[in-house]
Amino acid sequence: MENGETPRYVFRVNLKRERGVWRTLSLRGDYTLHDFHECIFKAFDRYDDDHLYSFYFPRAQPRRDIGNPSPKEYTSPVVFEEPDSYREEGVLDASETELRSLNLHLGDTFEYLFDFGASWWHQVKVITVEHTDRATEADLPTVVKRHGESPDQYPEHED
């Protein structure tokens, strides 16, 4: 990347438990993972943001997968505000991590988890990396394409 250039990433975000529900999102590299969370939150028509989230690079490991290195986890800044939070050692603050610092390349995949209780898992894939030399108002995070209807954030459970 040349001096002054800012990468623009286009991501395809698949909702894991809802086959055929995905969004294509575009963000500049100087946006943080927290900004990316907010873009995903809006793109999937969610309405209650009082939940934790994390990004996992390259992906979360099942708890039973002992011996494999743990993925890097970037989580909600709320976790760092509470002295007795659920934060585990080595977890990083998503609000302090710019996308361009992650060394993302075309085809890279990682995971995003929203709401640790409801476990809304997403697979994220980098589908385009472009370099721009200037930022404009049009460079705000954008939902480029929507496919499939977003499920309700709190689905009704049948008794």
Encode 91-131 in three state secondary structure. Answer: CEEHHHCEHHHHCCCCCCEEEEEECCCCCEEEEEEEEEEEE
Please give the pLDDT value at position 148: 87
Please give the pLDDT value at position 157: 53
Tens of pLDDT, residues 80-117: 776 655 556 678 899 999 999 999 999 999 999 998 88
Go through the domains of the chain in sequence order and give each one's CATH number: 6-139 (3.10.290.30)
- What is the band of 50 on the pLDDT scale with cuts at 50, 70, 90? confident
Tens of pLDDT, residues 8-20: 999 999 999 888 9
- Which of 49-58, 87-96, 119-128, 137-146 is predicted most confidently? 119-128
As a whole number of Å, the CA-based R_g of the chain is 16
Tell which wins on pLDDT, 150 or 22.
Answer: 22
